């Protein structure tokens, strides 16, 4: 029996059924995609196939049939599994070269001339040939993921299972990762199973499986899946008031015919149409007017020639940038382009080596300068920064007390924001028990408790599913509308750039673009998406 055959696989964690009755087949050289909301069952099915979790049902690969993790030991030499999370399989203090040696030892790989040639080829394919002496902790997110991937590929697996390998990775690095995968599957005949939250990636796959509530509810090629929702997709020409209708961004989805022009459907639309079929509308976000009526200056933040160095490395070079009142500004760039460094200077976590930086009318040089502005700034960090051993309610109380908000007022605000942002039923849960989308919402609540004038959001939607991201941007839109708040946000989802009033693009620490999305599309009339524009800028400025 050739290829991979998954038959009626069910996986349970205690009383929770993570995946139920899943079946699929994959042939030699195919790339199979898993898409779906957080907690839909994608990772659980991958764990079953990889043989790292017990399951019910049957899986066969090559001539081997297994019904449990123990029986799957027979296929481990043919498989490679990369779990979800940036650099999760890496060790901070090991260099790139030491990682390859370590994983080669784990797999008992003999150091033949053939292996040495293949090893060099992997380094070249991943762009890591010049960084073999660099420790993992010094690599960008994209470089970490590429190192994780080539470590997984060292023993030349014929079944490769990758759980969201590009989460938190910029479009350029994602493109390079996909070039590696495409080369491996063509040359080695490897079966590759990939889960992703990026719908542009799903378009590259041979077949796609849509997961929902622990079941596979649709499958086919991307064109087939897109065509399946064509009759439900319209241009957004009016606001939906019907329970069978849902509007988001520039499209409307309706199960019943409406008087509006049809629009070209997308893979992301699958999530919205499925939500309608499940009678699960995106909850309407309600943001009340803020009590703090402090006036916000016209220019909230301005950088003039801002430079930051770490030794000989220049992280930001002569950056000029403005954030205006009531504006959502997208700060875009590849991993290591200087986005997080710039935000940390705004927060006073890094000092400024050259240039001038003003925030809410005050000059910023170090943390001391920013300290008195603390009550006016909200911040959501790139990495989940809430306490996992405290409930959601306890976390929010902790942040309220940090901002010296009284107990009675804190209770009122926590009750208000948990209802407005739709996580009131999770207040007594622990963060590690909740989907990323829910954690993201109460991270925003924690940043809003003290009614800031400006929000800094560093990749807040990384790894979050399509519906949760839609709800997140609805929240930002309401905050802008009701509070006049200014928002600086970084993201690797290029489709999210379209929700920003303006975008700034950084490359190697320098600003290479600063304009509205509308104007950038005019400059690149052949671009099919904003990701095309992003990649064109990087190619042109090499």
DSSP 8-state secondary structure symbol assigned to residue 165:
T
Q: Kindly report, as residue ranges, where domains of CATH 3.40.50.300 are found in the chain.
A: 4-213, 299-540
Look at residue 16 and tell me whether its pLDDT is greater than 90: no
CA distance 322 to 342: 13
β-bridge partners, 528:
none
**pLDDT at residue number 168:** 74
* % of the chain surpassing 70 pLDDT: 93
Alpha helices in 38-170 (DSSP H): 42-50, 96-106, 113-126, 141-153
Condensed to tens digits (0 to 9), the pLDDT of residues 432-472 reads 777 766 777 788 888 888 888 999 998 888 777 787 788 78
CA distance 406 to 403: 9
Look at residue 140 and tell me whether its pLDDT is greater than 80: no
Cα 196 to chain centroid, rounded: 9
Structure tokens at 311: 């030794």
**pLDDT at residue number 120:** 93
Condensed to tens digits (0 to 9), the pLDDT of residues 462-499 reads 777 787 788 788 888 888 888 889 999 999 888 888 88
Condensed to tens digits (0 to 9), the pLDDT of residues 498-542 reads 889 999 999 999 999 999 999 999 998 888 888 888 888 877 765
CA distance 505 to 500: 13
Half-sphere exposure of 246 (CA within 13 A, CB side): 24
Is the distance from CB of 401 to CB of 450 less than 8 angstroms?
no
For the segment 347-366, the average pLDDT, to the nearest whole number, is 87
With CA atoms as reference, report the closest residue to 144 among 361, 484, 345, 383. 383
pTM of the model: 0.83
Is the distance from CB of 505 to CB of 537 less than 8 angstroms?
yes
**pLDDT at residue number 111:** 94
**pLDDT at residue number 363:** 85
As assigned by CATH, the class of the 4-213 domain is: alpha beta
- With residues binned 3-state (H G I as helix, E B as strand, rest as coil), the percentages for the chain, rounded to 5, are 40, 25, 35
Structure tokens at 136: 């993992």
Share the mean pLDDT of the chain: 88
SS3 state of residue 251: strand
Query: Given pLDDT bands bounded at 50, 70 and 90, which one contains residue 298?
Result: very high
| The CATH number, out of the four listed (3.40.640.10, 1.10.10.60, 3.40.50.300, 1.10.8.60), of the domain defined by the range 299-540 | 3.40.50.300
For the segment 272-299, the average pLDDT, to the nearest whole number, is 75
Give the E-state strand segments of 27-114 in sequence order.
31-36, 56-61, 64-66, 79-82
With CA atoms as reference, report the closest residue to 164 among 465, 441, 443, 460. 465
Condensed to tens digits (0 to 9), the pLDDT of residues 156-177 reads 999 999 998 887 778 888 888 8
Burial class (CB in 10 A: 0-12, 13-18, 19+), 424: middle
């Amino acid at each position: 029996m050739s290829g991979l055959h998954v038959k009626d696989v069910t996986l349970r964690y205690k009383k929770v059924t993570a995946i139920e009755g899943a079946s699929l087949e994959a042939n030699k050289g195919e790339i199979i995609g898993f898409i779906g909301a957080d907690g839909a069952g994608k990772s659980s099915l991958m764990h079953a196939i990889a043989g790292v979790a017990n399951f019910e049902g049957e899986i066969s690969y090559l001539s081997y049939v297994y019904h449990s993790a123990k029986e799957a030991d027979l296929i481990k030499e043919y498989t490679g599994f990369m779990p979800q999370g940036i650099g999760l399989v890496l060790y901070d203090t090991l260099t790139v070269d030491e990682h390859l040696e370590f994983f080669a030892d784990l797999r008992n790989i003999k150091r033949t001339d053939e292996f040495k040639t293949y090893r060099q080829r992997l380094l070249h394919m991943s762009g890591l040939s010049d960084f073999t002496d660099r420790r993992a902790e010094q690599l960008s997110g994209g470089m970490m993921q590429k190192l994780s991937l080539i470590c997984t590929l060292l023993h030349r697996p014929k079944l490769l299972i990758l759980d969201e390998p590009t989460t938190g990775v910029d479009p350029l690095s994602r493109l390079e990762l996909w070039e590696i995968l495409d080369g491996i599957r063509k040359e080695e005949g490897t079966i590759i199973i990939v889960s992703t939250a990026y719908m542009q990636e799903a378009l590259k796959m041979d077949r796609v499986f849509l997961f929902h509530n622990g079941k596979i509810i649709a499958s086919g090629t991307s064109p087939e899946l897109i065509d399946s929702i064509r009759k439900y997709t319209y241009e957004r020409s009016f606001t939906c008031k019907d329970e069978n209708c849902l509007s988001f961004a520039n499209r409307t989805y309706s199960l019943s015919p409406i008087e509006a022009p049809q629009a070209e459907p997308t893979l992301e639309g699958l999530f919205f149409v499925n939500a309608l079929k499940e009678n699960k509308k995106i909850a309407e976000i309600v943001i009340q007017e803020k009590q703090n009526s402090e006036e916000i200056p016209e220019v909230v933040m301005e950088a003039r020639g801002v430079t930051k160095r770490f030794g000989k490395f220049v992280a930001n070079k002569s950056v000029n940038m403005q954030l205006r009142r009531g504006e959502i500004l997208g700060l875009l760039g590849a991993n290591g382009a200087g986005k997080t460094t710039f935000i940390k200077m705004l927060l006073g976590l890094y000092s400024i080596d050259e240039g001038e930086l003003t925030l809410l009318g005050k000059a910023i040089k170090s943390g001391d300068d920013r300290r008195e502005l603390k009550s006016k700034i909200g911040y959501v960090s790139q990495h989940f920064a809430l306490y996992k051993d405290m409930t959601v309610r306890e976390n929010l109380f902790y942040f309220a007390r940090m901002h010296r908000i009284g107990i009675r007022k804190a209770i009122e605000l926590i009750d208000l924001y948990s209802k407005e942002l739709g996580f009131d039923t999770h207040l007594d849960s622990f963060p590690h028990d909740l989907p990323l989308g829910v954690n993201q919402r109460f991270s925003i609540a924690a940043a809003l408790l003290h009614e800031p004038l400006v929000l800094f959001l560093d990749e807040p939607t990384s790894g979050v599913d399509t519906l949760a991201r839609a709800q997140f941007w609805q929240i930002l839109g309401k905050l802008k509308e009701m509070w006049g708040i200014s928002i600086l946000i970084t993201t690797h989802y290029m489709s999210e750039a379209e929700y920003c009033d303006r975008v700034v693009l950084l490359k190697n620490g320098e600003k290479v673009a600063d304009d509205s999305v509308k104007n950038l599309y005019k400059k690149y009339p052949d671009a099919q998406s904003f990701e095309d524009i992003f990649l064109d800028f990087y190619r042109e400025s090499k």
